[in-house]
Amino acid sequence: MDNILPLEADYQPVLGQLMNEMNLAGVINRAIDMPDSQSNIDVGTFVCLFIHHMLGDVNVKMYRMDEFFTGKAMPLLIPWKPDIDINEINDDRAARVLDSIWKANPQKVFSAVVDAAIPIHSLDTNTIHADTTSKSFYGAYDGPTDSEDAPNITYGYPKDHRPDLKQIIFGIGTTSDGVPIVGEVANGNESDMTLNGRWITKLRKMLKKDKDDYFLYIADSAVVTTDNLDHLAAEHMDFISRLPGRFDIEKELKKKANLENDWNDIGKISDEKTAASYKVWNTTGEIEERTYRFIVVYSDHKDKRKLKALNKAVDKEYDINMKRLEKLAKRHFACKKDAQIETEIYRKKHSLKLHHISWEIEAKKDKIKRKKRGRPKKHEKIKCQTNHYLSGSLRLDEETYEAQSELCGQYVIITSLKDIEKDTAKIILEKYKGQYYVERIFKFIKNPSWVGSFCLNKTERIAALGYILFMAATIYTLWERRVRKALEDEDAEPIKGLNKQKTKRPTSYALQVVLNPILVLSQRIGNKVSIWLPEPLSRNRQRVLELSGFDADIYQGEWIIPEKKKKSAKKGRET
């Protein structure tokens, strides 16, 4: 019993099986198509080690990768290659793997992975949710790159509020149920509008879609430019987006919807108790002589950013005008009419949008300043004159504020889908709200434990690592998708997720928590390695495995693993 060791397994055998199902290592090796005999760990398998490491929720550093895998049941994590030597997992090998992926074109490698996943998981690629985010990096990154195609890490338009740091842009495209199938690592100053335009012209080719195939592109307002609308029309691509305020028609549509007040109440589109309730107003209109369908949406959950901006505007207008009024109150006017004229001048010069001013004119007797110098004589009369003083008090225009506040819960959706019976306003809104799925992927990118913490100084390696990050996100979301699909059956019993709450829509993180921790026992006798569970898994864990498409057998097995040949210290020969 002395050679029986406990090893960590947790949820990672599930990830290993998911990668094994689609032969991820083999797909990557074929896409790279480069001879690599320097290591026992091929490039594709090392990428899978990267993915395990990324999804391990640890502080990821390449020079400490071996520490992450120490004490883990490697044959369960990499079932197609159980003889991995942890000593070969080092930063030098990791760097060469990233170089190989970059030389082979990382986008091509990621596309090959996606092509392998689509038939196995029956992914619907007719709808793409697209969005971008930025990732900031510490360091100068001002040296030349070895490749002209490498993204430029530079200052741009940061979405994480760090304008002092350089960045790169990550573009993500997911299926309607949140699986990343398109990705790009772009220049740090890349415009979202430009990136969307480039994707629109390439997506059909990337996803092997004919011109006549139905294809729906859903993105944020950055996609709506006159050039991109031309691209969408040329590619015969339907789209749904938010109409940006830079188009005058956006304000006109909101105004018309509120004037007509003929809203269609569609209620909630989510089962959550705190979900927003919606009303919509349908119409059509033209941009650059093309007709589009517009849906003005009203939500009883106001946009917090817009509401904050409105309140900030209220405070600013109040502060500025209070200073003006305090200054004006010190002036005197010869007569009441002059003071009244001043109120009209103020109204024309300083137009107020969110406040009313209540004016008061008060007559006061002021002493007239003596012309002579010195102290006045004892019986000298003090002369006075009547002056008029103007004072104004500010009060919030409640009606205007309420109208502006209502607008904070309104926005306009633009789409090329004009069939209101087939694609109702509710369906369009539900599809647009599906942007939530692509936004979730940004948690991978924004997590400071990933990408930024790998201590890389070559732009090409950072970009290659970014595409591995896309692959990790794909595996992660495929797991979640598979479990949720299995739980869609009405007769399916919900599982216990976070805090042991029953759910039929668990997140990948909840699945991780359920299967964490799980320890296995390992024994090696000669070249035979055995791994087994010391005790049966709980019913909830067994159900998670079954819903994932596996069973407890992925936590045990026997392997023949030859012992490593040792080299002679004197002659360097293998013995």
Q: Are strands 216-218 and 127-137 parallel, antiparallel or unpaired?
A: parallel
For 130, the token pair is 């697209």
Of 556, 444, 439, residue with least CA distance to 50: 444
- Cβ neighbours for 365, distance < 8 A, ≥ 6 positions apart: 384, 385, 386, 387
Say if residues 392 and 277 touch (Cβ distance below 8 Å).
no
Sign, CA dihedral 220-225-228-229, equals: positive
Count the helices and strands in the chain (H runs, E runs). Answer: 18, 18
Cis status of the peptide bond prior to 517, with omega within 30 of 0: yes
Q: Are strands 528-532 and 557-560 parallel, antiparallel or unpaired?
A: antiparallel
DSSP state of 375: P
Question: What is the rounded distance in angstroms from the CA atom of residue 179 to the CA atom of residue 173?
Answer: 8
HSE (CB half, 13 Å, CA atoms) of 118?
15
pTM listed for this prediction? 0.84
Res 573: pLDDT: 42
Res 474: pLDDT: 95
| Helices within 447-499 (DSSP H only) | 459-487
Question: What is the rounded distance in angstroms from the CA atom of residue 520 to the CA atom of residue 76?
Answer: 10
- Cβ neighbours for 26, distance < 8 A, ≥ 6 positions apart: 44
Res 59: pLDDT: 59
Largest Cα separation within the chain, whole Å, is: 128
Q: In what side-by-side order are the strands of the sheet with 166-174?
A: 180-186, 166-174, 127-137, 216-218, 238-242, 410-415, 290-299, 277-287, 264-268
Give burial (CB, 10 Å; 0-12/13-18/19+) of 144. Answer: exposed
Q: In what side-by-side order are the strands of the sheet with 557-560?
A: 4-8, 519-525, 528-532, 557-560
Q: What is the pLDDT along the chain (575 residues), one digit of tens a residue?
A: 558 999 999 999 999 999 999 999 999 999 998 776 567 899 999 999 999 998 886 555 666 788 889 999 999 999 999 999 888 898 888 889 999 999 999 999 999 999 999 999 999 999 999 998 887 777 777 655 667 778 888 888 777 777 888 888 889 999 999 999 999 998 888 889 999 999 999 999 989 899 889 999 999 999 999 999 999 999 999 999 999 999 999 999 999 999 898 999 999 988 888 888 999 999 999 999 999 999 999 998 888 888 999 999 999 999 999 999 999 999 989 899 999 999 999 999 998 999 999 999 999 988 877 777 777 777 777 788 889 999 999 999 999 998 888 888 899 999 999 999 999 999 999 999 988 888 888 776 666 555 444 567 788 988 998 899 999 999 999 999 999 999 998 889 999 988 889 999 999 999 999 999 999 999 988 889 999 999 999 999 999 999 999 999 999 999 988 776 554 444 444 43
Which amino acid belongs to residue 118?
I
- Cβ neighbours for 162, distance < 8 A, ≥ 6 positions apart: 136
- Cβ neighbours for 312, distance < 8 A, ≥ 6 positions apart: none
Question: What is the rounded distance in angstroms from the CA atom of residue 424 to the CA atom of residue 415?
Answer: 12
Question: What is the rounded distance in angstroms from the CA atom of residue 57 to the CA atom of residue 511?
Answer: 14
For 550, the token pair is 């596996």
- For 59, the 3-state DSSP assignment is coil
Of 255, 250, 354, 350, residue with least CA distance to 311: 354
Res 448: pLDDT: 53
- Tell me the C-alpha to C-alpha distance, in Å, between residue 63 and each of 72, 336, 455, 522: 18, 82, 9, 27
Q: Are strands 238-242 and 216-218 parallel, antiparallel or unpaired?
A: parallel
Q: Any idea how long the chain is? A: 575
For 336, the token pair is 């009441």
Of 172, 166, 75, 173, residue with least CA distance to 133: 172
Torsion of CA 43, 45, 50, 52, to 10 degrees: 170
- For 260, the 3-state DSSP assignment is helix
Res 571: pLDDT: 42
- Cβ neighbours for 256, distance < 8 A, ≥ 6 positions apart: 283
Which amino acid belongs to residue 556?
Q
Res 575: pLDDT: 33
